[in-house]
Amino acid sequence: MKRPNVGAILESLTLEEKVSLLAGKDFWETVPIPSKGVPSIKTSDGPNGARGEVFNGGTRAACFPAAVCSASTWNPDLSRRIGNALAEETLTKGARVLLGPTMCNHRHPLGGRNFESFSEDPLLTGKLAAQLVAGLQEKGVGATVKHFAANEQETERLSVNEIVSERALREIYLKPFEIAIKEANPWAVMTAYNLVNGTHADSHPFLLQKVLRGEWGWKGLVMSDWGGTNSTADALNAGLDLEMPGPTRNRIAKVVIEAVEKGLVSEETINDRARNVLELIQKVGGFENPEIPPEQSVDEPAHRQLIREVAGQGLVLLKNDNGILPLKKDQVKGKKIALLGLAKEALIHGGGSASLHSHYRISPWEGLHNAFGDDVEFKFAKGAHTYRLLPPLDSNCTGLDGRSGWTIEFFEQGKKENPVKTRNGHKEAAFSPLLDNGSKWKEILLSATFTPEETGSHYLSCAGIGPTVISINDKVIYEQKHNSEDAMAFLFGGNPEIQFTYSFTKGESYRIRVHSSPPVTGGNDHGGILSGLPGFRLGFMYQKEHDEDLVSAAVDLARECDIAIVFTGHSPVWETEGQDQADFHLPKDGSQDKLVDAVASANPKTVVVNSTGVAVAMPWLSKVSAVLQAWFPGQEAGNAIADILSGAVNPSGRLPISWPKRIEDAPAYGNFPGVKKDGQLTVRYEEGVFVGYRHYDRIPKEKLQFPFGFGLSYTTFSLKDGRVSQTSKETFKSSVTVSNTGHEAGAAVVQLYVGNATKSKDHPIKTLAAFQKVFLEAGQEKTVELSLELKDFAFFDEGSGSWKVEKGKYEFSFAQSTADVECVVKIDIEGSRQLKL
């Protein structure tokens, strides 16, 4: 079929038709113009799996490891394969554009969405993201790199003002995007919610015009984050092509046309924006094949295998005293092993855009049984309360119709006499506005009669998007008068809830009513995609279950077993889009730390497997024998963990983040999540370029738990004979010999850092400039060659507005982590006063 002429189509459109293309048709699709041959194309979340159009419980999809786990592989080839697989997954959901990868920096360990991003280091992030983009697009699916830019926190993310120097912005926060743009040319870029130096990212001339389209020469489509369009004329003029989702709020045809008539926006700008939409449709094959097929669940065996392989290379062994791991089958046969904590929970992804309805989810309990069969006797105890939200009240409830469930009545705002709609049989005491078309109503009333099974003072909890009132037997027992701090976080189950108690008597009937209103107007948080819509949760738990002592049973079990493995971590409600981490310690209220400490005291052979997307406090580290950082490894989680624990896979993951002992030693401590004044949250990036290891290199090493790039193996490696030569004014070649000095086949990660031999308070001691993963048999040696350029370790000089490398002697450090440098080569470099990047 002949490719359509985008220019000719554009010329055929009226101004109103062009404007219609500049916002979504609905939540996921673009606007079609059938009379002019313009189809709609569909987008889909997200970065670790193509979820499809339903947030919760939709079409099943493959869940790949979170980006931080993928980054721990330090293997760009795997990223390309992930991109290929994600493209295939995206097409099964009828979509042609995937909303990923997420490329924001790990600025602070409490960042709520860190797991969804790769690393604290811009080079590692950029190289891996570029390969994922290439893998997607070579299969015809558009990648959307996000969130552009400086989106490093979730607290008040819709309105927070990030104050960051141009140097830090260029070297740390824009650099990953620059690498991906220049090496893989993503077809779309998504803007961030936040303000950068006082201007919203979706209408930021510096970011979108000067840098992205200007200096980098990128030609593609810029879309907003969902609900992240904050203006009409400013966003159009700055370069925001597509407002998402639809229907539009800021690009109503009449309003935009009036802006054109008044000279606030030129028709040429409208043409440019519309052309970019049409060109994206063309790139993904929308004109040739305009059909959007129904979503399918395709459980591809090759994807299963890839997920397990990536997870196997991404899990990081942090401690292994006395070689307690691996647990070889012949060594543990007939033994009893206690599996404690979250052993029966598959922590496969974080919360928010990265969550999906996976084909399946393998828990560690299942994975270890798969690996060892009946050769080992596994015993389980939970050991700790880890819930964040009480489960929605759903049992022993009768609706107004006399049947099981709840009755929901929908009302227009302020009109509580006649419901617009009534629905019986609602499953539980929770309501998400995205499950219904909220345009017809503004208030909801949930009603049921509850008959408790136990007598006592039981626990309830509540959270609402807007003002919410709970009454029992017509008496108000709880009232939330304020709006949610982040309305969108409500979707992802991470909204903090207020807990309280109420005395019930077994067998008696209690009429429960929940009235929820939309958010009150005013303030900076406009609610994003949930603006003006109500939603709530009512949680319930019997007192006996809530207050049960779980630690004692776990300790007793650990004491009677040969080995104890404690599974710790964050479920999606603890680590999620929409809010930052509640604490540096594992939840809940120290329960997991107490469990590990108590078990380690009872059994000297205690192993901890931690599933988080961030560094966490480990006050018990000295008491346990081994620690495996499992991240969120996707749907094969339990099998991948069992592969490492059993020795079927030799761990080769290396940390893509630095791991502090205390949150107080993190570089952004004191400047996260910011200071509020006159209703505006502002966060200052006072640490500048000294993010992650760039900061930890300058403070006492005792403050660091594990360095960037660190990871153990069941074998050992050494680096020797490092060599560096300058092949041109701006290019270098280097080589180093890598030896497997142990008795097992495995993989090392060669890391090359560069820094000026003359230390300066203005520059990092060293910067990652190149890396390569190397697989070696026991006793094998390989010579690894790494190429790099001046731009890979240049700094941005704000005075001249250019990239520079100063003249001087530079140290090229070959290392296995930032704290394990084995070869240093010094070279005199003429430098460059201005680099063209």
Q: Pairing relation of β-strands 731-740 and 443-450?
A: unpaired
d(CA 680, CA 194): 12
Give me the long-range contacts of 12-17 (CB less than 8 A, separation at least 24): 12/36, 13/38, 13/274, 15/257, 15/260, 15/267, 15/270, 16/253, 16/257
3-class SS string, 134-164: HHHHCCCCEEEEEEECCCCCCCCCCCCEEEC
Three-class SS of residue 65? coil
Helices (H) and strands (E) in the chain, counts: 19, 39
Q: Pairing relation of β-strands 680-684 and 161-163?
A: parallel
Burial of 183 (0-12, 13-18, 19+ CB in 10 A): middle
Which of 497, 532, 495 minimizes the C-alpha distance to 517? 532
d(CA 71, CA 78): 10
d(CA 177, CA 182): 8
Element (H, E) at 554: helix 551-560
Rounded to a whole number of angstroms, the CA Rg of the chain reads 27
Residues 6+ apart with CB under 8 A from 84: 135, 136, 138, 139
Residue in the block written with tokens 């153990």: 712
Whether the ω angle into residue 46 lies within 30 degrees of 0, i.e. cis, is yes
The catalytically annotated residue of 225, 234, 525, 697 is: 225
d(CA 116, CA 225): 15
d(CA 96, CA 42): 6
The C-alpha torsion from 53 through 56 and 59 to 60, rounded to 10°, is: 130
d(CA 56, CA 491): 9
Tokens of 778: 């026991």
77 counts as catalytic: no
Residue in the block written with tokens 């709530």: 536
d(CA 532, CA 227): 12
Residue pair 160/674 in contact (Cβ under 8 Å)? The answer is: yes
Strand partners of residue 30 = 24
Give me the long-range contacts of 770-773 (CB less than 8 A, separation at least 24): 770/734, 771/74, 771/123, 771/124, 771/127, 773/73, 773/74, 773/75, 773/652, 773/747, 773/748, 773/749
Residue in the block written with tokens 């048999």: 777
Residue pair 97/42 in contact (Cβ under 8 Å)? The answer is: yes
Longest CA–CA separation in the chain, Å: 85
Where do the H-state alpha helices sit in 4-116? 6-12, 15-20, 67-71, 76-92
Residue in the block written with tokens 């299942």: 366
Three-class SS of residue 581? coil
**Catalytic residue numbers, as ranges:** 225
